[in-house]
């Protein structure tokens, strides 16, 4: 009898994992007290930066959805990671060479699996309209220097929203984030630190934390002392990693405030993180 129950339990677990298309590991974490941020949406489960990945992130109870923003030929803010469409669509070339209408004709789901065929690119406006009320948004500006005026566009869109408490804008481009902060001081901004630049001097930290609410690192290029130095200056730290299986353990050890990765909390609200292999 016990054996039959065990077989049933194994069968149900396997079916669930097949259903979500998950092929990684599960790891149980007790009281991590960390923000859970779904990287490019719940991109372990669905094509990155798509409505499907964002919906999955909400379903898995992520605290924030992370996404990437570029600008189309006709000046629309669109959600995609690479500056070219080649890797994640059936098209080729730069996003900036496509109008929004042309981008909307691309398939952004099939590269992941046939299940997501016909998925279309989202604009930042559409992302906000659909998800603002449900989850925090961590919006990364990709290569803002290539898109003059992108900061003003972002601020103009966000000015339509009264409460910006659930939105963070981030970028590797420090001056772009300083500009966003100056244009809209009530909006939290984050500076992403490139691995090669992870050793930040006290002077640099003073400068960054004077306007950035978060300083975000690849977890492999961080230590507890740096986190303490940032906390002492009243800013927070998020870490990301695409592959590091010790991400959660390191995040806890360093005392950071949240994790950006391709995993989210499991729906039963237990602190279980799914780590993609
Ligand atoms: O949020 C951090 C992370 O998104 C930065 O790397 O390449 O995934 O945008 P990338
Ligand atoms: Ca990103």
Q: What pLDDT does 265 receive?
A: 52
CB of 239 closer than 8 Å to CB of 19: no
Q: Select from 139, 177, 192, 259 the residue to mutate for testing ligand 1; criterion: most ligand atoms less than 8 Å from CB.
A: 192
Q: What is the CATH number of the domain that holds 186?
A: 3.20.20.190
- 30, 70, 81, 231: the catalytic one is 81
Cα of 58 vs its chain's centroid, Å: 12
How much is the mean pLDDT over the chain?
88
The residue whose CA is least distant from atom 10 of ligand 1 is 81
Q: What pLDDT does 199 receive?
A: 94
Q: What pLDDT does 107 receive?
A: 98
The two three-digit tokens of residue 176, written as one number: 């772009």
What is the CB < 6 Å shell around ligand 1?
A: 39, 66, 68, 81, 140, 192, 240, 260
More confident residue, 18 or 73: 73
Q: Does residue 265 fall inside a structural domain?
A: yes
The residue whose CA is least distant from atom 4 of ligand 1 is 39
The pLDDT confidence band at residue 190, using thresholds 50, 70 and 90, is very high
The pLDDT confidence band at residue 246, using thresholds 50, 70 and 90, is confident
Task: Give, in order, the Cα–Cα distances in Å from 115 to each of 25, 109, 159.
Answer: 22, 8, 36
The two three-digit tokens of residue 41, written as one number: 């949406």
Q: Give how many domains the chain has, as a whole number.
A: 1
Task: Using the mean position of ligand 1's atoms as its centre, give its distance from the Cα of residue 138 in Å.
Answer: 11
More confident residue, 248 or 122: 122
CB of 261 closer than 8 Å to CB of 239: no
Task: Using the mean position of ligand 1's atoms as its centre, give its distance from the Cα of residue 258 in Å.
Answer: 14
- 39, 70, 112, 181: the catalytic one is 39
Q: Does residue 60 fall inside a structural domain?
A: yes
Quote the domain boundaries for residue 256: 27-276
Task: Using the mean position of ligand 1's atoms as its centre, give its distance from the Cα of residue 81 in Å.
Answer: 8
Mean pLDDT of 253-277: 66
Q: Does residue 266 fall inside a structural domain?
A: yes
Burial of 117 (0-12, 13-18, 19+ CB in 10 A): middle
Round to whole Å and give the CA distance between 200 and 193.
9
Nearest-ligand number for the alpha carbon of 43: 1
pLDDT of 25 > 80? The answer is no
Round to whole Å and give the CA distance between 128 and 131.
5
Mean pLDDT of 173-199: 97
Q: What pLDDT does 35 receive?
A: 92
Q: Does residue 14 fall inside a structural domain?
A: no
Q: Does residue 81 fall inside a structural domain?
A: yes
Q: Does residue 219 fall inside a structural domain?
A: yes
**Environment of ion ligand 2 (residues, CB < 5 A):** 68, 140
Q: Per residue in 106-145, pLDDT tens?
A: 999 999 999 999 999 999 999 999 999 999 999 999 999 9
Q: What pLDDT does 248 receive?
A: 84
Q: Per residue in 135-160, pLDDT tens?
A: 999 999 999 999 999 999 999 999 99
Q: Does residue 205 fall inside a structural domain?
A: yes
- What is the number of H-type helices and E-type strands within the chain? 9, 11
Which residues neighbour 215 within 8 Å (Cβ) at sequence distance 6 or greater? Answer: 190, 191, 193, 200, 205, 208, 209, 230, 235, 236, 237
Q: Does residue 78 fall inside a structural domain?
A: yes
Instruction: Answer yes or no: 81 catalytic.
Output: yes
User: What pTM, to 2 d.p., does this model score?
Assistant: 0.87
pLDDT of 30 > 60? The answer is no
């Amino acid at each position: 009898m016990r054996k039959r129950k065990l077989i049933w339990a194994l069968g149900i677990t396997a079916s669930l994992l097949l259903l979500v298309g998950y092929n990684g590991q599960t790891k149980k974490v007790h009281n991590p007290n960390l923000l859970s941020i779904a990287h490019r949406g719940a991109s372990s489960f669905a094509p990155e930066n798509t409505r499907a990945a964002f919906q999955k992130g909400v379903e898995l109870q992520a605290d924030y959805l992370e996404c990437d923003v570029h600008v189309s030929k006709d000046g629309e803010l669109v959600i995609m990671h690479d500056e070219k469409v080649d890797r994640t669509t059936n098209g080729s070339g730069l996003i900036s060479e496509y109008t929004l209408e042309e981008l909307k004709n691309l398939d952004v789901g099939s590269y992941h699996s046939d299940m997501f065929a016909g998925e279309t690119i989202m604009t930042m406006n559409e992302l906000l309209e659909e998800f603002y009320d449900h989850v925090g948004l961590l919006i990364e500006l990709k290569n803002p220097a290539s898109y003059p005026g992108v900061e003003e566009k972002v601020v103009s869109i966000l000015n339509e929203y009264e409460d910006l408490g659930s939105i963070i804008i981030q970028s590797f481009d420090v001056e772009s984030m300083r500009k966003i902060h100056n244009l809209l001081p009530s909006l939290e901004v984050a500076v992403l630190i490139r691995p090669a630049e992870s050793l930040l001097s006290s002077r640099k930290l003073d400068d960054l934390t004077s306007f950035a609410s978060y300083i975000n690192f690849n977890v492999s290029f961080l230590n507890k002392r740096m986190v303490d130095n940032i906390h002492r200056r009243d800013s927070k730290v998020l870490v990301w990693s695409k592959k590091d299986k010790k991400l959660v353990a390191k995040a806890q050890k360093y005392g950071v405030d949240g994790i950006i990765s391709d995993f989210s909390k499991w729906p039963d609200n237990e602190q279980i993180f799914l780590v993609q292999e």
